[in-house]
Chains A and B, each alone.
Chain A
């Protein structure tokens, strides 16, 4: 019987909330975080809409509990804030008996600072500290240092599926017995670098994005940080943490079609979802909700839609993309949407696919366009599909055995309903 892996902590910051509670409220109230950027210094400000965290760099330092100082990127701060929240239950202590890992994901790294100081690097020494902060490993090591995690750390970058792959690796390391618990997730801040990059691909929507809508026109870039704490049963016996849900399946496959496009039939997406389902042992009809990747591009939504139709046949479960809430948080998207999926599971709701009006001609799939409460949700499938065809799917489940150590008799966030 393979080792079971539970989720006991969640931490998140995005354009719809600076913590889990705010995120949950925004989702329940249908409040999107998409607006013109305020903090990102871009000349495209009036032309584009993004999901920007509503905080300046100084405010992020405060949220992270750190004094304002040189050598921290906005990216790292977003990661630190979310990582700290995920471990904020009093039972996260560094325990020599528990082998603890940190797997983080990012693609921009410290670019939000380095793009500002690039010329300085050639001409003077005043910004040298930011040379250390440039790469993907920096935010991971800052989080590890602040939380005291040492046993195993690494960083993954697979574009928009990065933090989903971080969760996947974390689960595998626990299942293999190498680690007892893993903090897994990712962070990505807005930068002019990738904002302009995506703009050059002509896939930014000047309006709020409309996933799975026939009128869709592209993405709204977003930013954020999101981490989940994965624990084995043995770990929970020591930490006494509450179980929020379980991760029961995962799948990673490659589209192998084109650097920026998925194949019309969504081979990679299909394979990733299929692998996750097979691992979980579930039948397709046992999936109660799909939190889709649903970026709002012509290509992704068609490709993903076709893959879902192919896998689920005539019995497609409720589907929605929550990117109209948060924007596309790229490397943080996998973990952001994992948390949003877990919230759906914990509260028995299905989140709406905002901005949807016109079904796509090519698909029978129609996303859920309003908040549905009082649902029976046992298993949620969360999709993250990245540029270059890095496709990953995760399945979260409500553990049905109430006798597990730490399993709450009542839902822990229920009081905030």
Chain B
């Protein structure tokens, strides 16, 4: 059993206060969806953290929010998933390099390594436990969750801090525009579903979760299973894997009350989600989340936060509804996400 006992999320919505769940929706109409930053000085010792770049501050703060929420002072393990690591620091160095190979500042280099977030959290907490970082695109957060589930099975840890974090910057957006990932037009995030054009709207965020062996009074939900599917040969394969995944966790297709999908407004790929829900879960309520947080490799951490809250509060927020159907009960939710039909992943969350 893997219980979500605490969450700390910094995102493009007001998600810092755990008492509040999507009561006010932040609209974005800009090049990308930027996270609502807390006043970091209130959470971090300024002297200890003065040289840390934004992504590391986001990581440490959301980790601390999570620990506070879980009522846990020290985790046994710390695991981070990040697709791109510190974009800001990496690009600082890349901008300097062509000039000449001298005068490189050590600080951005130290912070450009992908494991810097997980390490800095450990340094801040003085946590000597297991520590790892996963860096595989939209498998990054899921790999971290899987590692945590393994540790609970192995009984090598009881409280594992797992996070998904990625940042965006205007500079990085400009660089990656040419890869065709992003929309060329600026749209209102709440209108995303209507936008029939290629590309997604970029986002960012940092979500840390306390995954524990035993529940506490404030437990949100259970993570029943995590699955990643690499390069499925065809749709039938995805369907077969989905059924197998649910069965191995003691569930049938009919047990899923709500499906949360990673629709992101990219008309080249969103059809995959339509095929998934209409073929495998016809007539089931479907929700989405990327209009609230944007597209980034670890966006499923936002989905997990939403799912955990839906299960705990037993309420289904209208702003997350993708079709008009309402769940008859809220016991089992399946999060399904994919990236370019290559990296597919599922997280099964239960009450």
Contacts and interface: CB of A to CB of B under 8 A. Distances in A.
Q: Touching in the complex, A and B, CB below 8 A? A: yes
Contact of A156 (B94, B101, B135, B178): B135
A144 B130 contact: no
A128 B179 contact: yes
A173 B126 CA distance: 28
14 contacts: A43-B101, A107-B114, A115-B97, A122-B174, A128-B178, A137-B135, A150-B230, A156-B133, A156-B134, A157-B135, A199-B104, A200-B106, A260-B110, A387-B110
Q: Of residues A43, A128, A157, which shows the largest number of chain B Cβ atoms within 10 Å of its Cβ?
A: A157
Interface string B127-147: 111111111110100010001
Given A173-B150, A176-B150, A119 B98 contact: yes
B241 to A, nearest CB: 10
Interface stretch (A6-14, A248-256, A307-315, A394-402): A248-256
Interface residues on A, range: 35 or more
A254 to B, nearest CB: 4
Interface stretch (B117-125, B184-192, B199-207, B324-332): B117-125
Contacts of A193: 93-94, 97
A137 B122 contact: no
- Nearest first, the 9 A-B pairs at minimum CB distance are A388-B119, A197-B109, A254-B131, A157-B114, A136-B135, A155-B136, A200-B106, A131-B179, A256-B122
A389 interface: yes
A252 B231 CA distance: 31
B24 interface: no
A137 B137 contact: yes
Contacts of A118: 94-95, 97-98, 175
Interface string B334-350: 00000000100000000
B249 interface: no
Given A196-B101, A387-B110, 10 more contacts: A107-B115, A140-B136, A157-B133, A158-B133, A193-B93, A196-B104, A253-B131, A254-B131, A255-B128, A388-B116
Given A137-B135, A389-B131, A258 B123 contact: yes
B231 A150 contact: yes
Given A137-B137, A176-B150, A253-B130, A259 B116 contact: yes
Contacts of A157: 85, 113-115, 133-135
A389 B94 CA distance: 25
B100 interface: yes
Given A43-B101, A172-B154, A389-B119, A153 B110 contact: no
B84 interface: yes
A159 B113 contact: yes
Given A197-B106, A256-B122, A172 B150 contact: yes
A158 B122 CA distance: 13
A136 to B, nearest CB: 4
A33 to B, nearest CB: 23
A121 B91 CA distance: 12
Interface in B32-88: 78, 83-85
Contacts of B129: 253-254
Nearest to A155: B136
A170 to B, nearest CB: 12
Given A159-B115, A268-B128, A153 B139 contact: yes
Contacts of A194: 109
Contact of A165 (B78, B112, B132, B154): B132
B105 A200 contact: yes
A44 interface: yes
A132 interface: yes
Interface string A109-132: 000001100110110010010011
A257 B97 contact: no
A346 B128 CA distance: 34
A125 B100 CA distance: 25
Contacts of A131: 175-176, 178-179
Contacts of A155: 134-136
Contacts of B153: 176
Contact of A121 (B100, B130, B175, B230): B175
A159 B110 CA distance: 10
A201 B109 contact: yes
Given A196-B97, A259-B116, A252 B130 contact: yes
B321 interface: no
B136 A154 contact: yes
A384 to B, nearest CB: 13
B214 to A, nearest CB: 21
Contact of A43 (B100, B110, B122): B100
A155 B153 CA distance: 22
B228 interface: yes
A328 to B, nearest CB: 14
Contacts of B125: 256
A217 interface: no
A133 B223 CA distance: 33
Contacts of A176: 150, 153-154
A144 B229 CA distance: 13
A220 to B, nearest CB: 17
A383 B176 CA distance: 38
Contacts of A114: 94
A200 B104 contact: yes
Interface string B295-308: 00000000000000
B120 A152 contact: no
Interface in A79-137: 107, 114-115, 118-119, 121-122, 125, 128, 131-132, 135-137
B180 to A, nearest CB: 8
A201 B106 contact: yes
A150 B234 CA distance: 13
Contacts of B127: 254, 256
Interface in B204-219: none
A389 B123 contact: yes
Contacts of B147: 169
B132 A136 contact: no
Contacts of B104: 196-197, 199-200
Contacts of B174: 122
Contact of B230 (A119, A144, A197, A260): A144
A253 B118 CA distance: 12
